[in-house]
Structure 1
Amino acid sequence: MPHIRPFRRSDRHQVTEVVNAHIAALVPGWAVSTAVLLAQLEADPGQYVTDPWVQTRETLVVVEDSRVVGAAHLRCYRNSPDVGSDYRGSGEIAWLVCWPGHADAASALVAAALRVIESWGARRVFADGDLPTPATVGIPDCWPHLAESLTEAGFRSRVDAVEMLYAGGIETLPTPDASVPEDVRRSVGAHGVRFALGDGGTDLGCLEVIADCTRGGTLLRLAGWAEVAELDLPAGEDARTALLGSAADWLRMGGVANLFIALGDEDVEEAEYLEGLGWRRLATLRRGWERVI
């Protein structure tokens, strides 16, 4: 019989193990330390906009035969004017993990999470997969047991909030030919390092990357990865080679081996181009889960 109780510090290693199993199913080789996971239970600096809005946090675990088989981290947002309208007074299952084969435990965990959130007086209830990595957003299709538990509890994802996660090696990016003029400018962007193709007037295309996915060394298993935060492909193969090749040369000097990007349904051209380079689609991410009953 599943037993639900608040998280204890002594649970930290078992919870980290099941969390990392879910992360590794999404991106090969990724994992977070116990210290990183514990820090997220107290505050989430990666969510610099929404985290200051949080009023209450709680983490639950589900235990079967003395083993922690799942956990859920909950947040409640303040009902005040400085909080974004969608978040104001709402509750959230920020993330949920559970070993497959424990459907009853997962269902009991979701039900307990909802009781806690309802006791906070939340007007709306959301769910996400916000584990402390840059790629764990929404519920990916490689976590079908979690999608099933949320669906059974009345959650539905937004049909317009679907992303595809792609990844590829730095060696897949084209190498500029010396005969191809390279008018690529590098600068600080809104998220990371920005590479823009053009003469300084109107950009013909751009690529912006977050070159350090370790977040200053706290996520050590993400070393060598970079996130493509923005991709606007220029027209023409030579222009694309100039832009992406210049970025690849720069990233390679910094030890980047792999890149990933989340694309929406509308990013058909970008998806086809990356697939043509040999990039692999890792997962389909469904976001915007909300309880509708």
Structure 2
Amino acid sequence: MRAGLAQCARWNARVRYADGALPAPLVHGLPRNWPHVRAVYERAGFAHVGDTEVILIARVADLPAAEPRPGVTIERTLGECGTRFTVRADTGALGFVEIDTALARPERHARAAGLADIGNLHIDPAQYGTGLEHWLLGQAADWLRLCGVDRLVACESAADSTMFGHLTGAGFGELTRTDRGWEHRPG
């Protein structure tokens, strides 16, 4: 750490950034279960100035059942973060979830087989409290089982209590918290 900061000083860098990202799923920011790394950052003068994310995990088998829901259909398409499941009614889209099932790609070569990540989850706020998010996750769970996925993870802002509540209500539990945005400004 000292050598890196000394090099930044020689370069006259005004701001230095740090992050614990590794080429493995879910390892970004500085996880709370790495207190030894946090201590090194803080001793070197880095301060956490960014957001905190909660990393949640659920067994696919524990997700809500995909029971029939009158008046809505599910559409499976390619989304920006993976397979997208969109709930539609006569009035249009009510919500969607995107699932990345490619966490075990060679460039992410960690123990990721059987693991998938929620890339996006959006429910029309008018649908809050209707159980639509649970039904949508149940629809995705059927697909995940076909893909050989047995665990599903999600990363959400610690400040977003609504989404945190949706996910924990659907069977997710908190795995850890990770702090993103570490900054060092020379005195």
Q: Is 1:190 the counterpart of 2:80 in the alignment?
A: yes
Structure 2 residue matching 1:222: 3-state secondary structure: coil
- Deviation string 1:240-263 (CA, Å, 9 cap, x unpaired) is 343111111111100011011111
Post-superposition offset of 1:127: 0.2
Q: Is 1:255 the counterpart of 2:136 in the alignment?
A: no
For these two proteins, the number of residue pairs brought into alignment is: 183
Counterpart CA distance in 2 for 1:276 and 1:189 is: 25
Counterpart residue type for residue 150 of structure 2: A
Counterpart CA distance in 2 for 1:115 and 1:217 is: 32
Moved over 4 A (4+): 179-182
> Is the 2:23–2:108 contact (alpha carbons within 8 Å) kept by the matching residues of 1?
no
In the TM superposition, what are the counterparts of 1:209-220 in structure 2 within 5 Å?
209-216=99-106, 219=109
Match of 2:161 in 1: 268
Counterpart CA distance in 1 for 2:131 and 2:169 is: 15
Match of 2:174 in 1: 281
Post-superposition offset of 1:163: 0.7
Structure 1 residue matching 2:104: 3-state secondary structure: coil
Mind listing any 5+ residue stretches in structure 1 that lack a counterpart? 1-109
Structure 1 residue matching 2:178: 3-state secondary structure: strand
Mind listing any 5+ residue stretches in structure 2 that lack a counterpart? none
Post-superposition offset of 1:207: 0.5
Change (3 A) 1:200 1:126: farther
| Percent of aligned pairs sharing the same letter | 32
Of 254-263 and 235-244, more deviation after overlay is shown by 235-244
Select the residue among 5, 8, 15 that pairs with 1:124: 15
In the TM superposition, what are the counterparts of 1:62-211 in structure 2 within 5 Å?
110-158=1-49, 160-178=50-68, 180-199=70-89, 202-211=92-101
Q: Is 1:246 the counterpart of 2:136 in the alignment?
A: no
Of 233-242 and 275-284, more deviation after overlay is shown by 233-242
RCO higher in structure (CA 8 A, sep ≥6): 2
Larger Cα-atom Rg: 1
The two structures have a TM-score, normalised by structure 2, of 0.87
Q: Is 1:231 the counterpart of 2:121 in the alignment?
A: yes
> Is the 1:192–1:209 contact (alpha carbons within 8 Å) kept by the matching residues of 2?
yes
Of 206-215 and 240-249, more deviation after overlay is shown by 240-249
RMSD: 2.1
The two structures have a TM-score, normalised by structure 1, of 0.57
Counterpart residue type for residue 275 of structure 1: T
Counterpart CA distance in 1 for 2:28 and 2:133 is: 29
Counterpart CA distance in 2 for 1:247 and 1:119 is: 52
